[in-house]
Chains A and B, each alone.
Chain A
Amino acid sequence: MQISRRFPHCILGLLLACSTAVASAAEVNLYSARIEALIKPLLDTFTEQTGIEVNLVTGDADGLIQRLKSEGRNSPADILLTTDVGRLYRAKEANLTQSVESTTLEKNIPVMYRDDSNHWFGLSLRARPILYVKDKVDPAELSNYEDLSDPKWKGKICIRSSNNVYNQSMVASLIAANGLEATEEWAKGLVANFAMPPRGGDRDQIKAAAAGQCDLAIANTYYLAGMLTSDDEEQRAAAEKMAVFWPNQDGRGAHVNISGAAVTASAPNRDNAIALLEFLSTDAAQSWYARENGEYPIRDDIEIGPVLSSWGTFKADPVELYKLGAGNGEALRLMDRAGWR
């Protein structure tokens, strides 16, 4: 009987201990779809500079969003960080995020890369241009994404599966520009030009092109950057056979997705969360993304290092990013119908 009488006190004591710990420590809790290796160094710098501890859980964006949803108002998470705009849009639609007033963020991040009601903010750009094999393709033959469905590319294009969100967002951008019907026709043409059934990741497309399996690869540039700076000689050799072509430069511009973050609706450490977002938008952090991750900064006045500089500047598609997020599902169905596995 003694145990049972004492038991509630133990629980209460534990709870109090927990809640005081939460209140006293300067910390911020991050749900990150960016993998640990690609975010931890920046977070460590943030902690050094501010004394605010960052607690991290990484995972698939959809898993993290589901977790936020189920945890509800008691969720410990302050920030949701994702690697594409679709998931930020989805989190906002599900009322999991809140609006943030910050002059620093508004100053550092161009309007086109943040939510119109300041629910989410872009933190880096992920461009998806056309990569071509230097000694096989004359860049003069290339023009825009739309042209990739031309039969002249039959059996010459490598691109990964439609399961991938980068392809879903790219197709969503085409739907936004050209409409559903035209894009479906385009997708069918593109599928007919595939060199092989889609499989593997972006790096695999680049490797396949370098090895002679196809002439063009559609891939995000940071994969190419990662290969160029790899310790693996084979990867470097493959990457060096490829060049970047920025499509649609006469028109709307190349397709760009963002990685970005939002403060959660229930954030217990709201101020620290905003401080972390502001830190991630600073020149130093932006430049780090460019140099270490090979992603483009959200502003063009940031030092981007030799690899990215070598590909020159480009015009990015100014489509309102939420449209890509909203269009993901539609894009996927379209790709299903077009037989894009």
Chain B
Amino acid sequence: MPDSPRQQQTLISTGAVLLALLLALPVIVVVSYVFVPTGEIWSHLAATVLPDYIINSLLLMLGVAIGTLLIGVSTGWLTSMCQFPGRGLFEWALLLPMAMPAYIIAYTYTGMLDFSGPVQTTLRELTGWGFGDYYFPDLRSIEGAAIMLTLVLYPYVYLLSRAAFLNQSICVLDASRTLGNGPWSTFLFVALPLARPAIIAGLSLALMETLADFGTVQYFGVSTFTTGIFRTWFGMGSAAAAAQLAAGLMGFVMILILVERYSRRRARYHHTSRRHQDIHRYSLRGMRAVAASGFCFGIVALGFLLPATQLLSWTVSVADQVLDARFMGLVTNSLELASYAAVLALLLALLLAYSQRLFPGKVLQGAVRLAGMGYAVPGPVIAVGVMIPFSFIDNSIDSWARSNFDISTGLMLSGTVVAVVFAYLTRFLGVSLQTVDSGLSKITPSMDEAGRSFGYGPLQILRQVHVPMLKGSLLTALLLVFVDVLKELPATLILRPFNFNTLAVRAYELASDERLAEAAPAALAIVAAGILPVILISWTITRTRRVAVTRDTP
């Protein structure tokens, strides 16, 4: 055992770097393809479809960014700082769309709004119009895709901005009021800038998910970077060129994150007071109250109530055929996988975040950031990134055992739940890291110092100071990953063991075969299983609010 603190520090930070690199392995595998020559595929792509991929991906991101910011921040502010009828209900109901997989909401809305769907058919029957006689916005377009993704992704921005608003110092807001600022200017010039890190964190989750989305854009016929990756891989059979596209995507996300960090530069946001105090909400009356309630209701209706009702009606129409013991097996599998992955992702995120906090260093920071990149990588690419090193390890051990003991060990990791869970960790570690990080950033270094002055060791500081303050963030991280894993499809599909299905696999298989009604029960079960955690998240945030914030810019 190393006895000097210095040695200990080196040991821990080296361990953390190795752990982060292990988790980043699939990402590294994908990036390493950059060096595989792919001949003329790139010049073909550049001459034909690559500009489209880039423009469409950027437009989609822009649309989702605007949509999620407008909806997420406004509803976050309304439910935390204003009083209006139904506020308590909307507080958690606004999170419900989060339980809805994007491709499912896309299928559902298309079923309702398409030219041959019930809405337009009824319209034609009522008016006697035929094709071409009237204008109806086309859902299956880039705008449509942006709307669908916004509807299910705004909760990330809502969740984190609301938590930030609730945690803001009442003193700061009160100061703003005494300086003569009305609610609008307090929001715009005080609350919003203070909540910026949280809002940006929520937005970057939403945008990373947008970039990784495949189901929605594929169904809508929008060529994005992600559909391009699949075309290149599947259609042209070039895994290397596909991996290079994926690496390009990651590079782009990396640049965005760095730009954001640079623009924030060295500003830090810490709480310096632990005074608890009820928030004084702005009381909305008359038309304003109606508008606020109506707006929140509209969002919940579009993002959850309408599609869920459609799913429910489909489910009822096929319930007798699909709801059997095997269906219950799917539910169990999904819940178990989601629980394992959520707990492990949280533990790993804590480990990495703390190592970074205690022993900051460029190498560790880089490794952790790399490990968090998986969130922006489309699931199938991550899956291949897991598959290649896992089978390599398996086959190497097997060869070694064969040559030394003349026995075959076969595949010990590949094709097991271990591989599936590892893929989830790679893909969703970014989510728990972000959440834990933003929780940790609320604990000022001076609190650590105070703890140390009491003679606490690092573990005691953790227990006495950090855990009580972090509880909310930890639970949020846990539940976010849980819901994400419930919805996850591509990695599960490619990596899962024999005779092992999940709700997402079932829903996708049937939906992709264009059997929407039969896909509905599994889709609805995903939504149902996601609702409870979503409500829990909301409850936690309301309970763990803290007050007092100042901005200390060195």
Instruction: List B residues 385-415 near A (Cβ within 8 Å).
Output: 387-388, 390-392, 394-395, 398, 407-411, 414-415
B494 within 8 A of A: yes
Kindly list chain B residues whose C-beta atoms are within 8 Å of the C-beta of A199. 140, 219-221
Q: In the complex, what distance in Å separates the CA atom of A60 from the CA atom of B398? A: 27
Report B510-532 CB contacts with A as 1/0, cut-off 8 Å. 10111101100000000000000
B239 within 8 A of A: yes
Report B484-518 CB contacts with A as 1/0, cut-off 8 Å. 00000010011111111100011001101111011
Measured between C-beta atoms, what is the minimum distance from B229 to chain A in Å? 11
| B130 lies within 8 A of A212 (CB) | yes
A36 within 8 A of B: yes
Measured between C-beta atoms, what is the minimum distance from A329 to chain B in Å? 5
- Check A328/B410 contact, CB under 8 A, given A60-B494, A64-B494, A76-B498: no
Kindly list chain A residues whose C-beta atoms are within 8 Å of the C-beta of B110. 200
| A71 lies within 8 A of B414 (CB) | yes
Residues of A contacting B: mostly: helix
Q: In the complex, what distance in Å separates the CA atom of A18 from the CA atom of B398? A: 14
Q: In the complex, what distance in Å separates the CA atom of A341 from the CA atom of B220? A: 11
Most buried by A among B130, B415, B510: B415
Q: In the complex, what distance in Å separates the CA atom of A336 from the CA atom of B116? A: 29
Kindly list chain A residues whose C-beta atoms are within 8 Å of the C-beta of B497. 57
Kindly list chain B residues whose C-beta atoms are within 8 Å of the C-beta of A168. 235
Q: In the complex, what distance in Å separates the CA atom of A72 from the CA atom of B392? A: 9
Q: In the complex, what distance in Å separates the CA atom of A35 from the CA atom of B507? A: 11
Kindly list chain A residues whose C-beta atoms are within 8 Å of the C-beta of B517. 231-232
Report A189-229 CB contacts with B as 1/0, cut-off 8 Å. 00000000111111110011011110000000001001000
Kindly list chain A residues whose C-beta atoms are within 8 Å of the C-beta of B237. 90, 328-329
Measured between C-beta atoms, what is the minimum distance from B378 to chain A in Å? 12
A55 within 8 A of B: yes
- Of chain A, the residue at the smallest CB distance from B235 is A332
Chain A contact residues (Cβ within 8 angstroms of B): what range? 35 or more
Question: How many contacting A-B pairs (Cβ < 8 A)?
Answer: 159
| B116 lies within 8 A of A37 (CB) | no
Kindly list chain A residues whose C-beta atoms are within 8 Å of the C-beta of B219. 199-200
| A57 lies within 8 A of B496 (CB) | yes
B152 within 8 A of A: no
B44 within 8 A of A: yes
Number of interface residues of B (CB under 8 A): 67
A15 within 8 A of B: yes
| A70 lies within 8 A of B387 (CB) | yes
Kindly list chain B residues whose C-beta atoms are within 8 Å of the C-beta of A162. 235
Q: In the complex, what distance in Å separates the CA atom of A232 from the CA atom of B115? A: 17
Measured between C-beta atoms, what is the minimum distance from A209 to chain B in Å? 9
- Check A213/B115 contact, CB under 8 A, given A15-B409, A63-B380, A71-B415: yes
B255 within 8 A of A: no
- Check A72/B235 contact, CB under 8 A, given A63-B494, A204-B114: no
- Of chain A, the residue at the smallest CB distance from B506 is A36
Kindly list chain B residues whose C-beta atoms are within 8 Å of the C-beta of A37. 509-510, 513, 515, 518
B383 within 8 A of A: yes
Kindly list chain A residues whose C-beta atoms are within 8 Å of the C-beta of B496. 57
Instruction: List B residues 309-342 near A (Cβ within 8 Å).
Output: 317-318
Q: In the complex, what distance in Å separates the CA atom of A232 from the CA atom of B48? A: 41
| A333 lies within 8 A of B236 (CB) | yes
| A55 lies within 8 A of B221 (CB) | no
Kindly list chain B residues whose C-beta atoms are within 8 Å of the C-beta of A165. 234-235
23 contacts across the A-B interface (CB closer than 8 A): A15-B409, A18-B410, A36-B509, A37-B510, A37-B518, A56-B498, A57-B500, A58-B505, A63-B384, A67-B494, A67-B495, A70-B387, A74-B391, A74-B394, A74-B395, A74-B408, A74-B411, A162-B235, A163-B227, A207-B114, A208-B116, A212-B131, A238-B116
Q: 8 shortest A-B CB distances, which residue pairs?
A: A199-B221, A55-B498, A212-B131, A70-B391, A63-B494, A211-B116, A207-B116, A336-B48
Interface residues of B (CB under 8 A from A): 44, 48-49, 110, 114-116, 118, 120-121, 130-131, 140, 218-221, 223, 227, 230-231, 233-237, 239, 317-318, 380, 383-384, 387-388, 390-392, 394-395, 398, 407-411, 414-415, 490, 493-501, 505-506, 509-510, 512-515, 517-518
